[in-house]
Amino acid sequence: YNLYAEQLSGTSFTTPRVFNQRSWLYRIRPTIGHKPFQPLKGDEANPRLISNFLTNGITYPSQIRWKPFPLCKESEQVDFVQGLSTVGGSGSPDLKTGFAIHM
């Protein structure tokens, strides 16, 4: 059938192997080969559906990548907290809702 097999894991990497939950998906083309997301226009769009509750911004589901974070100079002293960078999140600290993802 010329399908691509992909495995979707539903458990964390620390879960013992016997408890792993995963599914095999078979696609016509690999996930990475899909065309970029195009938002609906005009009458097709639904203005009642939003993804960002603070600014009504749009979240695009296309696969993206980011460049590696810059390394500090050898002469710099950096502790753990100074070495963190935010890569994503949702909500607002002012409203005490949401979350942030740091690496």
Q: Hey, is 32 helix, strand or coil?
A: helix
**What is the mean pLDDT of the segment spanning 22-46?**
75
Cα–Cα dist 31/24, whole Å: 13
What pLDDT sits at residue 47? 63
Lowest mean pLDDT among 21-30, 43-52, 57-66: 43-52
Query: Using one digit for the tens of pLDDT, what is the confidence trace for 49-99?
Result: 555 556 655 666 666 677 788 888 888 888 888 888 887 777 777 777 888
Q: 0.85 exceeded by the pTM?
A: no
- Nearest CA among 98, 80, 97, 78 for reference residue 88: 98
Cα–Cα dist 28/65, whole Å: 23
Residue 20 has pLDDT above 70, yes or no: yes
Cα–Cα dist 7/29, whole Å: 14
